[in-house]
Amino acid sequence: MSTPEKKARIYFAGSIRGGREDLEIYKELITYLQTKGTVLTEHIGLDDLDDLNKEKKRTDVDIWERDMEWLYSCDVIVAEVTRPSLGVGYELGIAEKIRKRVILLFRDDTGKQCSAMLTGNAHFKERITYTKVATACEQLDALL
């Protein structure tokens, strides 16, 4: 009798307080990632962050403690880094420090450049540049 395969624990990082303009993209990516494992941070794709776990009612300390627990316990971090976010940058710094596997996603049709602090860092070697979410998902398939 074979044992069931353990589902990957995925930490999806995307901007929340830094701007929600990419919410629809986050939703699509999270929906895709849910086919690959358990997305610990599925709330990032919600229209109203109060829909799950009373997110808006949590204190900043509660959020930090929960997110640190998730970062330490996840198998992989998938970070959409097109929209600059202090929180995502902080999470990526922690991820590097604790040697977590990280896959960066960056849309190259925005006229912006990805931060040199990410592209110049050897720890963040798994990077996907895309214009369509479907293309990002195809590339993620090869990595997950």
52-96, pLDDT tens digit by residue? Answer: 545 667 788 999 999 999 999 999 999 999 999 999 999 999 999
- As given in the structure block, the two tokens for residue 128 are 């996907």
Domain assignments of the chain as residue spans, ordered by start: 8-143
- Give SS3 for 134: helix
- What pLDDT is attached to residue 56? 66
pLDDT of residue 3 exceeding 90, the answer is no
Yes or no: domain 8-143 corresponds to CATH 3.20.20.110: no
As a whole number of angstroms, the distance between CA 122 and CA 120 comes to: 6
Alpha carbon distance 32, 141 (integer Å): 10
- 116 appears as a binding residue in the annotation: yes
Q: Which H/E stretch holds residue 15? A: none
Please tell me whether 26 is known to bind a ligand: yes
What CA–CA distance (Å, rounded) separates 128 from 132? Answer: 11
Report the C-alpha gap between 41 and 66 in whole angstroms.
Answer: 10
**Torsion sign (Cα): 8, 84, 44, 65:** positive
* β-bridge partners, 107: 130
Supply the mean pLDDT for the chain: 90
For residue range 99-118, what is the model confidence (pLDDT) as tens digits?
999 999 999 988 899 999 99
The answer to whether 117 is annotated as binding is yes
49-62 pLDDT, tens digit per residue, is 655 545 667 788 99
Nearest Cα to Cα of residue 10 among 96, 87, 102: 102
Residues 17, 125: Cα–Cα separation, whole Å: 26
